[in-house]
Amino acid sequence: MVQGQDLSRVKIRLSKPYFGDKQNLMTMIKDILERGFLVQGNYVAQFEKRVAEYLGVKQAVAVSSGTAALHIALVALGIEPGDEVIVPAYTFPATANVVELVGGEPVFVDIDLNTYDIQADHITKVISPRTKAIIPVHLFGNPSDMDPIMEVARACGLAVVEDAAGALGSEYKREKCGTIGTLGCFSFHPRKIITTGEGGMVITKDDLLVESLRRLRNHGMKAAGPVLDLVTPGFNYRLSETGAALGMSQVNDLQDRIRGRQKLAGYYKNLLEQIPEVSVQRAPADATVAWQAFVVRLRERENGPIIKRLKEKGIETTIGTYALHVLKYYQNKYHFLPSDYPNAAILFTECLALPFYNGMSMEMIDEIVKALKETLDENQTSEGK
Ligand SMILES: Cc1ncc(COP(=O)(O)O)c(C=O)c1O
């Protein structure tokens, strides 16, 4: 949903943040307003502690977005002009943009059509002497197959930055996504499992990196006695106290949220079995999926007309995400052809994100699937004319 978009004709939204009982949240917001301390204070510290505990790591660094998280992760690793970083061709642009922003070169690899994630054997083929890091994306909360990716990274001395923007609570072989690589980056955008409005978090088990991340989000400043000193030029990527309070109000029931999402996804999957041209994203073996979004593939059908028709019926849907190599900037700069990463190009055209959020009802899913089936039938007929 584009902010400010007219929602008057939308009966079922694509996504809607869920706050449950708002009593506790209101108490925190009132406290913040009364204290008049609005940025990176006690609430941010508490929120970091809760997320770190949940993930089973010592420390977490809250920032102003998932993009900021990825950006300072790369700066902290020392990625610089001339370095190559391996990135999926099918992901949200931020994953590759941060590589460009530090002067590096994103090297794309195609994704698997079933899991929508990258695989180690494709990564191996593009490693060069300039490769410094890999950014596997746990797309829509679906864990990437990390064991072989970590094996390749270890063998070649590469850092791994997990883009776990939508994977808070997802697990790969009982390990939380975001805690497996060198660093893990999360987003708390309103379409994510918990939201701070805009916001993000970086985690790492490396204490030196944590120190560097803390400096980078706060202009590059570090405490030197009673004052701050500037150690390196940094960013202002701090999270607001009200954002942290929003996050705090949701993080305590994270497991319930995930169970709720798993139930919704299971219900969708059962119903969608009646539509042969629809396939659902598949998880690797031994994975727990937190389902940030529910994105299906419409085999050999373009998503654009379906999105338009469903909107006319009051149901808001959208594409899955982007094939980066066909976007103007990347295409112009690196002269890609759509066929360079064919699977990414297919999913860009054929994937459809269906309405999905905590608090939606099974009746809504009945209605969405019925409308999708009808729309695909109508579209089939008009294409056949
Ligand atoms: C895979 C992925 N990475 C990074 C981001 C960027 O996160 P943010 O919007 O919080 O900057 C997103 C946002 O949707 C995403 O989906």
Beta strand residue intervals within the chain, DSSP E: 60-63, 84-88, 90-91, 105-109, 131-134, 159-163, 171-172, 175-176, 183-187, 200-203, 221-224, 227-230, 278-280, 287-288, 294-298, 322-323, 351-354
How many CB atoms neighbour CB 88 within 10 A?
A: 33
Q: How far is the CA of 202 from the centre of ligand 1 (A)?
A: 13
Condensed to tens digits (0 to 9), the pLDDT of residues 112-143 reads 999 999 999 999 999 999 999 999 999 999 99
Kindly tell me if the per-residue pLDDT of 312 is higher than 50.
yes
- What does pLDDT average to over the chain? 96
In whole angstroms, what is the distance from residue 359 CA to residue 346 CA? 31
Residue 182: half-sphere exposure toward Cβ, Cα within 13 Å = 21
pLDDT band at 153 (very low <50, low <70, confident <90, very high): very high
> Which residue has its alpha carbon closest to ligand 1 atom 10?
66
> How remote is the CA of residue 301 from the centroid of ligand 1, in Å?
26
Provide the pLDDT confidence category of residue 56 given band limits of 50, 70 and 90: very high
* Confidence band for 5, pLDDT divided at 50, 70 and 90: low
Q: What band does 381 get if pLDDT is binned at 50, 70 and 90?
A: low
**106 and 133 Cβ atoms separated by less than 8 Å:** no
pLDDT in tens, 191-222: 999 999 999 999 999 999 999 999 999 999 99
Residue 155 binned pLDDT confidence (cut-offs 50, 70, 90): very high
What's the pLDDT at 241?
98
Residue 94 Cα to ligand 1 midpoint, Å, equals 6
User: How many A from CA of 274 to the centre of ligand 1?
Assistant: 32
* pLDDT (tens digit per residue) in 235-253: 999 999 999 999 999 999 9
Judge whether residue 372 has pLDDT over 70.
yes
pLDDT tier for residue 385 given thresholds of 50, 70 and 90:
very low
Q: What's the pLDDT score for residue 383?
A: 59
Order of all β-strands in the sheet with 294-298 = 278-280, 294-298, 351-354
Predicted confidence (pLDDT) at residue 356 exceeds the cutoff of 80: yes
pLDDT given for residue 224 in this prediction: 85
Overall average pLDDT of the 136-160 stretch = 98
Read off the amino acid at residue 252.
Answer: N
Q: How far is the CA of 170 from the centre of ligand 1 (A)?
A: 16
Question: Does the pLDDT at position 384 exceed 60?
Answer: no
Which residues line the pocket of ligand 1, CB cutoff 6 A? 65-67, 91-92, 94-95, 137, 163, 165-166, 187, 189, 200
263 has pLDDT over 70: yes
The number of the ligand 1 atom at minimal distance from the alpha carbon of 65 is: 10
pLDDT at 3: 54
**Nearest alpha carbon, ligand 1 atom 8:** 66
**Residue 24 in this model has a pLDDT that exceeds 70:** yes
**For a pLDDT cut of 70, what percent of the chain falls above it?**
97
- State which ligand 1 atom lies nearest to the alpha carbon of 189: 10
CA of 100 to the centre of ligand 1 (A): 16
Distances 282 to 91, 115, 116, 117 between C-alpha atoms, Å = 16, 5, 8, 10
Q: What is the pLDDT of residue 275?
A: 97
Ligand 1, from 189, 202, 281, 291: best to mutate by most atoms within 8 Å of Cβ? 189
Query: What is the pLDDT averaged over residues 164-172?
Result: 98
Q: How do residues 35-44 score in pLDDT, each as one tens digit?
A: 999 999 999 9
Q: Whose CA is nearest to atom 14 of ligand 1?
A: 92
User: pLDDT of 174-194, one tens digit each?
Assistant: 999 999 999 999 999 999 999
pLDDT of residue 1: 46
Note the pLDDT tens digit of each residue in 266-303.
999 999 999 999 999 999 989 999 999 999 999 999 99
Sketch out the chain's domains with CATH numbers: 23-251 (3.40.640.10), 254-384 (3.90.1150.10)
320 vs 226, which has greater pLDDT?
A: 320
Label residue 223 by pLDDT band (50, 70, 90).
Answer: confident
279 neighbors 309 (Cβ within 8 angstroms): no
Residue identifier of the C-alpha nearest atom 7 of ligand 1: 66
Ligand 1 mean position, distance from CA 277 (Å): 29
Q: Which amino acid is at 71?
A: H
